[in-house]
Chain A
Amino acid sequence: MFTKKQLLTKGLLSVAPHMFSVIPFGIVCGAIGIELGFSPILVYAMSIIIFGGASQIVFLQLLSGGASALIAITSVGVINSRHLLYGAVLSEYLEKLSFAKKLLISYLVVDQGFAESNKFFQKNRNEPYLHYHLLGSGGTLWIFWQLSTLSGIILGSFVPEEIGLKFAVPLTFIAIVVQDLKKLDHVIVMITCGLSSLLFFDAPFKSYIIISPIIALFVAALVLRLKK
């Protein structure tokens, strides 16, 4: 059995390698906000209030492009709706927490933290303090997201766009799913999702990001049925 402190540390360490993509992306995110002409305080406040990289960029780009607030808000909601799926997966492991603790820890549910803590949870189902792992992974991501977007805001236009730092984002997620390429059922689900995301890329409100997982999960259900 692990102590709370050990789990917190394990959570921290599990997401630490992802900082190679979180930090560059955070810097780009802050710099874009400034470049689009928004005030530094506003750009930074989004990292606390919304705390979701891709959605923060889209929000500012839409507003600066003249889109209505309603469209910008809807897009953020659609892009971040994938967290509903993460929550559904994590709820099994967070079931025993008090309502207040559930409300607090939910704020820290983000892509890489969910991915790494979920991997740990699957192998250590019976640990009593599992949520400390999520606290470690999500908390670390939160701190570095704040620091890196702040750096981007300060550096602003000094961040050269040509070096393509945004490319670190798909790479970090490749690192998360690459071992599942060993399993045919997962490969089928991944390809379904990936191709759907390209097919629906132009769907309104960036909805490809939730449409393709839903299609992929239907395919997953079919695959499960065939496996029996």
Chain B
Amino acid sequence: MTWSSIIIAGIITYFTRMTMVALVDRDLLGEKIKAVLAYVPSAVFPAIIFPGVFINDYGTFIEMNDPKIFGAIVAILVGYFSRNVIATILSGLFSYWIIIFLL
């Protein structure tokens, strides 16, 4: 039962990846849609970032003084000025850890 569910979920996931690449003719998309698609990264990734920062494991909002908010702000500042992915991730993680373990 669980196995067949995983396989079905896998097939559905594969179709989400493959449909637009292999099955849909790009000419079907108009110029306007293509222009809007340039915003896909900015339109998708905050839906992973915001809940990851502002909502805890139990699905409720965190307090405004939560260390994750501090970690995210540090990561944004470091990322913006350093343009370095590793520095962004590590500065965010370390500033978060410093608050939860040392303070």
Contact = CB atoms under 8 A, between A and B. Distances in A.
Interface residues of B, number: 68
Interface in A36-73: 38, 42, 45-46, 49-52, 54-55, 59, 63, 69, 72-73
Contact of B26 (A59, A81, A95, A191): A95
A181 interface: yes
A109 interface: yes
Interface string B53-90: 11101010100000010011001100110011110111
Contacts of B41: 115, 118, 176-177, 180
Interface of B: 1-10, 12-14, 16-22, 24, 26, 29, 32, 34-55, 57, 59, 61, 68, 71-72, 75-76, 79-80, 83-86, 88-90, 92-93, 96-97, 100
A221 B32 contact: yes
A189 interface: yes
Given A88-B20, A91-B24, A178 B37 contact: no
Nearest to B11: A49
B12 A73 contact: yes
Interface in A135-191: 162-164, 166-181, 185-186, 189-191
Interface of A: 17-18, 20-21, 38, 42, 45-46, 49-52, 54-55, 59, 63, 69, 72-73, 76-77, 80-92, 94-95, 99, 102-103, 105-107, 109, 111, 115, 118, 162-164, 166-181, 185-186, 189-198, 201-202, 208-209, 212-213, 216-217, 220-221, 224
Contacts of A85: 20, 37, 40, 43-44
Contacts of B57: 166
